[in-house]
Each structure stands twice: as C-alpha cells, then as structure tokens.
Amino acid sequence: MWGWGELATGGRRGFLLVVAEIAAVVTFVFVLAPYSAGSAAGLVFLGGGAFVAVWAAQALHAERRAARGIAPSHDPVGHGAAIELLWLAPIVVAGATAFWTMSGPSASPESVLAAYVDSWRAGDVADASGLFAVVPDRASLAASWARQSARLSNETIRASAQAGPNGGIDPEDPWASLRWAPSTGASPSSTLGLDGRPVVAATIVRHDTVRDSFLGLVPTTSQRLAVVEDLGTVRLRTVDLPGPFAGAPPVVVWRIDELDLLGERVGSR
C-alpha cells in the first residue's frame, strides 16, 4: 500500500499517498480497464506500468527516510528496499503476461483474425460470432464452417499433389499450410485496402528449397514459402463501443467486416 512506509517513519503525507493509491486503483479498474479490450490496450498497459513505478518509487523513498533516521549506534538497514523489490520482478512479469493474454483481443486486425481462426478450429461459434462488426446467425456460421472445412481439406489435398512430396504440405493437417498475409489489393507496406480497411488474404503455401552461395564461395540452402492456392480474403474495420461512462471516449475495437473465404461469404460491408 502506498504511504505505509511514510506513516511508519512519521511522515504525515503518507495519508495522501494512501488516498492517491485508492483513487489510482479505482481509476484503473473502472475507467482505464475497459479500454484494454480495444486499440488503446497499449496505453492501458503503460498506465499499469506507471502505477508500479510510483509504487516502487514511494517505497524506496520511505526506506531512505527510515535509513536516515537510524542512530549511528544502531545496525545498518541491511541490503535496503531496492534488493527487496527484486522479489516482485516475477509478479510484474506474470502480471504483464496475464494482461496481454486476457486483454486486447480486439486491439489489432491480427489479434481479431487469430481469435477467429482459433474459434473456428475449436468449433466455438459463440466467440467467433462476436468478432464480426455485424453479428451473424450462429447456426448459419456453423454451417459455413462445416462447408469451409471440407473445402479446405480438398484444397490441401490438391495443393499437396501439385507441390510434390518435398512441398511440405500435409493433407492430414490442412491448417499447417494455411497462411494469412496482406492481400494483393492492399498497400505493399500495410494490410490496408483501397478503401482504407485492412484486407488479409488466406493462402495455401508450399516450402521451396533455394540454393545459393555466400560471396560466391560457400554454398547455402534456405527455405521460402510460395503460394500454391488463394482461398479468399478477410476484410476488417474498427467499431466504436460505448465508453465506461457517459461522455467518455469510445472503446475502439477491431471487428471482421466481411469474410469471403472458400466459397462462403459472411458479414457485410
């Protein structure tokens, strides 16, 4: 708790630190936390980092205040609070990992697409439908998945035959050869399409062996991915959700606008 060290050493302003911490926690939980689900997740993470930094700074200040108040005849304080703070490093690392695992699922087009693919593979229609800008009918989405999965298997078998035994395409694992990349209709430096919305293309790729030489002397071998089959595209856009209270800025999240993949179209522009 902020201020306990100050209060223990006789500092009256410790009460102000206690009040400040309570206000900071309330602000973080009820004002900033809702924004962690959207594109502002990075700013929320920085806010949490600032909270931890202030906590460490006030603890070190209290420790130094206590050290100055010790009479020369007494034993030294020891290694000091700075060493003790190292014990909190694993907690900070675990907290940061948990934040990025549980927060920011809609912070970027990549995270939304990854969540959609994970839900598709797991058969979780409820979670997947919530990732669309216009929520589709769950039964219709499940039926689309059934048809798409069958077509993906067929396309993978055909691509495997075309790529040959050294192409690295496993017909038994269609997902292993599926890749997501900026569409050819997007800018070379980003996933933005001509209308300003991210466009991602789904493709089946094979592994090509490239033989070269380093400085013309040492033979080298490398692997590169080559597109065998185009499966379709996914278009995404931002959606403004209500803020945590009236008058607050909206929570900006990414959603799937339209999915045109393996002969199935879901969503609407």
Q: Classify the C-alpha dihedral 102-104-110-116 as positive or negative.
A: positive
Contact by Cβ (8 Å): 85, 56 = yes
Cβ-proximal residues to 7 (8 Å cutoff; 6+ apart), any chain = 14, 15, 18
Query: DSSP string covering 52-94, please?
Result: HHHHHHHHHHHHHHHHHHS-TTSPP--S-HHHHGGGGHHHHHH
Give the number of other Cβ atoms within 10 Å of residue 95's Cβ.
12
* Mean pLDDT, rounded, for 172-182: 88
Distance from chain centroid for Cα 87: 27
Q: How far apart are CA 145 and CA 151, in angstroms?
A: 10
What Cα–Cα distance (Å) separates residue 268 from each residue in 25, 128, 140, 209, 222? 40, 15, 14, 41, 42
Q: How far apart are CA 26 and CA 32, in angstroms?
A: 9
pLDDT at 14: 65
pLDDT digits (tens, 9 = 90+) for 196-250: 568 999 999 887 766 666 666 666 666 677 888 899 999 999 999 898 888 889 9
| Residue 187: band (very low, low, confident or very high) from pLDDT cuts 50, 70, 90 | very low
Q: How far apart are CA 211 and CA 174, in angstroms?
A: 27
Cβ-proximal residues to 71 (8 Å cutoff; 6+ apart), any chain = none
If one compares 130 and 61, the residue with the highest pLDDT of the two is 130
pLDDT at 186: 43
pLDDT at 103: 72
pLDDT at 21: 79
pLDDT digits (tens, 9 = 90+) for 84-139: 566 677 877 888 887 777 776 788 888 899 999 999 999 999 999 999 999 999 99
Q: Cβ-count burial of 145 within 10 angstroms (0-12 exposed, 13-18 middle, 19+ buried)?
A: buried
What Cα–Cα distance (Å) separates residue 125 from each residue in 122, 136, 150? 9, 10, 17
Cβ-proximal residues to 59 (8 Å cutoff; 6+ apart), any chain = 5, 81, 85
* Mean pLDDT, rounded, for 172-176: 89
- Whose tokens are 């020891």? That residue is 78
